[in-house]
């Protein structure tokens, strides 16, 4: 388990991460979502031991991460811009990785290269951005660590490749209990892979929940009320995050399970009423807007 407790990090005048607490359990796919500059990369770099937090504690399986080999052995970190040696080929990288990661799986490494159609003898510097990300992922998976920390790794992968990676993740999760930690602002990418999400906003955690719980605890309602009094009554009973009216049709985003919402509308007279599932993107927008963040400008532009 990766435990992040009250972690803060400041870069001169910028508070990049502010008192963040998160727990990443084993066997789940943890998605770290947040807007640009929310502190995702900084948090992941701290989790990876690449930079040191100013305050708080980060531990992996109860071992502090920074400069601790015992903890560092437990994960492989794929930064947003993975690094490969100058003029190195995938073969060179395998040779190096196998000296650093004692359980590095060389045979599967070459199999994956073949599967992903990456030439083992071609210079990595001639690879496209997507190919480099694939190679970084292959290195990460074959490092055979317990956790795989990916920062924006899925960006730049084509849909087919994304599906392949997801399926590899699923296999490794099943076979050896791999726990991927994936940071992205591409919400649609995380939606169908993550079990748990942490939502970072302006350096702090807005929420950290199981995706299923989150989806179940926030609902989109479309309804038409018979009278303004009925409308008032319904609004009073709901924990509304967002409300929009077009003609007489209301689109409301409110907290609560589907059952709770339906129960509250049972005693409200409506012409039309429907509870719809929210996409992760919609949940993200709703939660960040509550925090006063004009997310549409960034995410939807």
Partner 1 sequence: MMSKNLFLVSLRENLKRRVWVIFVTFLTLFLCFPGYLSLSLNSMKASLGNGYMQEDLLMFVYRSMGLTEGLMVLVVCLGSFAGLQAFAFLHQRKKVDFYHSQPLTRQFRFLVVYVNGILIFAGCYLFNLVLGMAVAAGYGCLTGTVFLQGMKSFLLFLPLFLCLYHFGILAVLMTGNIIIAVLALGTFHIYEVALRGLFVIYQETFFHTYSYRSSENWWHTLTSPVEIFTRISEITESFTYREDVYRTVPVNGESLLLLAALAAVSLGLIFALYLIRPDESSGRSLAFARTGEAIRILLLIPLSLGGGIAIYAASGASPVFGILGIAFTAVLCHMLLQIAFEFDLRSVVKRKFSLLLSAAAALLIFVIFRQDLMGYDDYIPDKEKVESVSLHFFIDNTNQSYTWIREDGWEISEEDYILEEMRLTDLDKVYALLEKRESYEEVEAYLMEYGSEDQQRVYSGLTAAYHLKNGKTEYRELRIDLKGAGRQIDDVWQLPEYRGATQQILSDNFLSSYKIEEISFYNGLRSFDLKAADFAAVTEAYCKDVRETSFTETYASRALGTLELHGEGLRNTNYTNRWEYVIYDCYRHTVEALEEAGIAYDNYIPGEISSIEVIHTDNEAAEAAMEAGEVVIWEEYKTYHSYTDPADIEAILAACIPQDGSHFSMQEQTERDYLVKMYCPAMYDRADIYHLEFLIGQIPEIAVLH
How far apart (Å, rounded) are the C-alpha atoms in residues 34 and 292? Answer: 14
Q: Indicate whether 128 belongs to the interface with partner 1 (CB under 8 A).
A: no
* Closer CB to partner 1, 72 or 262, in the complex: 72
Among positions 79, 123, 295, 299, the unique one binding partner 1 when judged by CB under 8 A: 79
Strands 239-246 and 270-276: unpaired
Of 269, 264, 272, the closest CA to residue 229 belongs to 269
Residue written as tokens 């395998």?
Answer: 94
List the one residue from 23, 27, 85, 294 that touches partner 1 (CB under 8 A).
85
Stretch that binds partner 1, among 82-90, 229-237, 242-250, 276-284 (CB under 8 A): 82-90
Helix (H) or strand (E) holding 95: helix 90-100
Q: Looking at beta carbons only, is 61 or 274 nearer to partner 1?
A: 61
Phi/psi at 173 (5° precision):
-65, -40
| Cα 46 to Cα 54: distance, rounded to the nearest angstrom | 10
Interface region with partner 1, contact rule CB under 8 A, candidates 40-48, 199-207, 212-220, 247-255: 40-48
Cβ distance to partner 1 smaller for residue 45 or 220: 45
Of 85 and 272, the one with the shorter C-beta distance to partner 1 is: 85
Q: Say whether residue 45 binds partner 1 (CB under 8 A).
A: yes
Q: Is 244 in the site for partner 1 (CB under 8 A)?
A: no
Of 30 and 104, CB closest to partner 1: 104
Q: Which two tokens stand for residue 233?
A: 């009554």
Given a contact cutoff of 8 angstroms between Cβ atoms, the answer to whether 39 and 203 are in contact is: yes
91 binds partner 1 per the rule CB under 8 A: no
Contact predicate 9/46, CB 8 Å: yes
**Of 79, 109, 84, 83, nearest to 94 (Cα)?**
109
| Per-residue DSSP letter, 134 | H
The residue from 99, 175, 227, 301 that contacts partner 1 (CB under 8 A) is 99
Instruction: Tell me if 127 contacts partner 1 by CB under 8 A.
Output: no
Q: Are strands 196-201 and 30-34 parallel, antiparallel or unpaired?
A: parallel
State in angstroms the smallest separation of the CB of 89 from partner 1: 13
Contact with partner 1 (CB under 8 A) among 37, 57, 96, 281: 96
Least distance (Å) between residue 20 CB and partner 1: 16
Phi-psi category of residue 144: left, alpha or beta, with phi > 0 → left and psi -120 to 50 → alpha: left
The alpha-helical segments, DSSP class H, found in 103-151 are 106-115, 129-142
47's CB contacts (< 8 A; 6+ apart) are 2, 4, 58, 60, 65, 75, 77, 149, 181
Beta-strand pair 147-151/179-184: parallel
Contact residue for partner 1 among 3, 73, 146, 233 (CB under 8 A): 73
Give how many residues touch partner 1 by CB under 8 A.
26
Binding partner 1 by CB under 8 A: which of 20, 48, 252, 268? 48
Single out the residue of 28, 50, 237, 251 in contact with partner 1 (rule: CB under 8 A).
Answer: 50
What are the residues binding partner 1 (CB under 8 A)? Answer: 11-12, 42, 45, 48-52, 67-69, 72-73, 75-77, 79, 81-83, 85, 96, 99-101
């Amino acid at each position: 388990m990766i435990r992040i407790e009250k972690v803060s990090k400041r870069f001169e005048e910028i508070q990049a991460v502010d008192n963040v607490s998160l727990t990443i359990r084993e066997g789940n796919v943890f998605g770290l979502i947040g807007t640009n500059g929310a502190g995702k990369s900084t948090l992941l770099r701290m989790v990876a031991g690449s930079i040191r937090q100013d305050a708080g504690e980060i531990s992996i399986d109860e071992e502090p991460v920074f400069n601790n080999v015992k903890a560092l052995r437990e994960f492989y970190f794929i930064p947003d811009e993975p690094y490969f040696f100058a003029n190195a080929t995938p073969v060179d990288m395998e040779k190096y990785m196998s000296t650093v990661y004692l359980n590095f799986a060389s045979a599967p490494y070459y199999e994956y290269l073949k599967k992903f159609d990456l030439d083992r003898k071609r210079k990595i510097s001639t690879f496209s951005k997507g190919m480099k990300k694939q190679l970084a992922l292959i290195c990460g998976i074959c490092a055979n660590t317990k956790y795989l920390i990916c920062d924006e790794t899925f960006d730049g992968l084509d849909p087919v490749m994304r599906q392949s990676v997801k399926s590899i993740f699923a296999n490794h999760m099943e076979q050896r209990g791999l726990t991927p930690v994936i940071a992205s602002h591409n919400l649609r990418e995380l939606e169908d892979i993550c079990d748990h999400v942490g939502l970072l906003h302006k350096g702090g955690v807005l929420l950290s929940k199981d995706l299923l719980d989150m989806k179940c605890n926030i609902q989109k309602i479309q309804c038409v009320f018979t009278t303004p009094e009925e409308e008032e009554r319904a609004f009073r009973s709901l924990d509304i995050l967002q409300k929009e009216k077009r003609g007489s049709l209301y689109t409301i985003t409110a907290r609560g399970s589907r059952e709770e919402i339906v129960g509250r509308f049972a005693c409200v007279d409506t012409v039309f009423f429907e509870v719809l599932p929210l996409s992760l993107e919609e949940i993200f927008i709703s939660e960040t807007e509550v925090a006063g963040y004009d997310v549409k400008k960034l995410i939807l532009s």
